[in-house]
Amino acid sequence: MNRKSNVIAWLASHFLVLSFLSASAAEESLCKPESAPAAASTPVRSPTRVLLIPLLRKDPDSAENERWPERPAAEIEAFYRTRFSAQVTWLRDVRKWEDYYRKADMLAQRSAPFDRVILIGHGGYDGPILNGHIIQNALTIEGDHAKATRIVEAQPGVAEIFTVTYDIGQNREFSSFMDSRWKELSRKDPTEIRNILISKERRLQPLDTACLQRQCSAAMLASIPNDTDRDLKRAACESICRVPLFVLRSFEELSPERFRNFVQSLRSLVKPNGLIVLGMCNPGSSVPERESPWDVGGALVHSKLASGPHQTYVHLLAASTGRTVAGPIGKTSAEDVVNRVTLFEERRPQRYLRIVAPTERCAP
């Protein structure tokens, strides 16, 4: 059996889901062959240098501690030191992507690339998630129109955009409030910003009483038996009968340049025959194509990045970095991450781990 057959047989024997990416003829200009054959880029079997990156983020809907990824990272460190006598390095205190880029750049300048780079934390169909940090914040005025814009990044390549637009001549007090308070407001959660602005609008902009009488008379409200439904009706009427002072928009857009930054950073940290492990939920999960992938994630996966669309985030990252990438299929836990790494390195059977080894690298 030749070398290529041996490699394929080895991967198949471990119940790993292996995919080789290819580009269509129309997209070949965006991709280039790897400098070494696919078999030569298969992850080294006895890693001697390992980088662990715990991504410190607390799920806002849970009581967990933000440092929860450090526990599985410590167990994985002990495994590599015991099993392979490997040198293990940590990228510590990474809470925002700016933390990651700063620390990763410093490490890449003073250290050789690693055999394994393992990220542990929260994730989704579009990759790892950290606490969102503001990458752009501005209040611009053109004529009578003002626009406050805040762009936040929680996942590399996905921009969360929040805007407030208003007419500066409609209500001078509101305009003055935005001029003096937007920088402070922009640091808050979008829901809190919305509530503050609505409260301000209610104080400054009176209701149209004639409209309110038509839409929500006392008799109409009294005819609604349920208190909750009555409150909803009253809120709807107030919305209709108050001339708005502002318009809010909250949406997401792709940020190819930010994704490319992430890709280049990973490439600087991982050897060509190294392995990137995404220890988080869903990077290996197939994302069904939808009319609006933003609803559940998958916008990066279904984009044209790296000659996409791709089947999973693991496929996307492998194509764009030119490195082998592994990640769980479906939900995973801290214990699962440790088990998946251990089983993989011990070449023991397991399921629900997807590994993608690219045959060519595509421009992200």
Residue 303 has pLDDT above 70, yes or no: yes
The predicted-structure confidence for 56-85, as pLDDT tens digits, reads as follows: 999 888 889 999 999 999 999 999 999 999
The predicted-structure confidence for 180-213, as pLDDT tens digits, reads as follows: 999 999 999 999 999 999 999 999 999 988 998 8
Buried-exposed string 149-158: b where 16+ CB fall within 10 A, e elsewhere: bbbbbbbbbb
Pair 233, 275 in one domain:
no
* pLDDT for 140: 97
Pair 225, 323 in one domain:
no
* pLDDT for 37: 40
User: pLDDT-derived band of residue 6, with 50, 70 and 90 as boundaries?
Assistant: very low
Pair 286, 217 in one domain:
no
Residue 14 has pLDDT above 60, yes or no: no
The CATH number covering residue 303 comes to: 3.40.50
Q: Print the domain residue range for 225.
A: 206-242
Pair 221, 324 in one domain:
no
Residue 278 has pLDDT above 60, yes or no: yes
Pair 294, 353 in one domain:
yes
Query: Domain tally for the chain?
Result: 2
Lowest model confidence (mean pLDDT) among 1-15, 29-43, 65-79: 1-15
**Rounded CA separation 223/238 (Å):** 18
User: In this structure, is residue 180 part of a structural domain?
Assistant: no
User: In this structure, is residue 349 part of a structural domain?
Assistant: yes
**Rounded CA separation 152/132 (Å):** 6
Pair 315, 210 in one domain:
no
Pair 124, 260 in one domain:
yes
3-state secondary structure 145-177: EEEEEEEEEEECCEEEEEEEEEECCCCHHHHHH
**Rounded CA separation 134/98 (Å):** 10
pTM of the full structure: 0.82
Whether 191 and 184 have beta carbons less than 8 Å apart is answered as no
* pLDDT for 21: 31
Pair 293, 231 in one domain:
no
Pair 216, 326 in one domain:
no
* pLDDT for 40: 43
User: In this structure, is residue 58 part of a structural domain?
Assistant: yes
Pair 122, 7 in one domain:
yes
Pair 236, 324 in one domain:
no
Encoded tokens for 70: 């450090």
The predicted-structure confidence for 211-242, as pLDDT tens digits, reads as follows: 988 888 888 989 999 999 988 998 899 889 99
Residues 302-328, mean pLDDT to the nearest whole number: 94
Residue 29 has pLDDT above 90, yes or no: no
User: In this structure, is residue 193 part of a structural domain?
Assistant: no
Domain end residue (candidates: 242, 266, 291): 242
Dihedral of CA 251/66/138/199: which sign?
positive
Q: Report which secondary-structure segment, H or E, holds 109.
A: helix 97-110
Residues 328-352, mean pLDDT to the nearest whole number: 94
Pair 215, 300 in one domain:
no
What mean pLDDT, rounded, does the chain reach? 87
User: In this structure, is residue 133 part of a structural domain?
Assistant: no
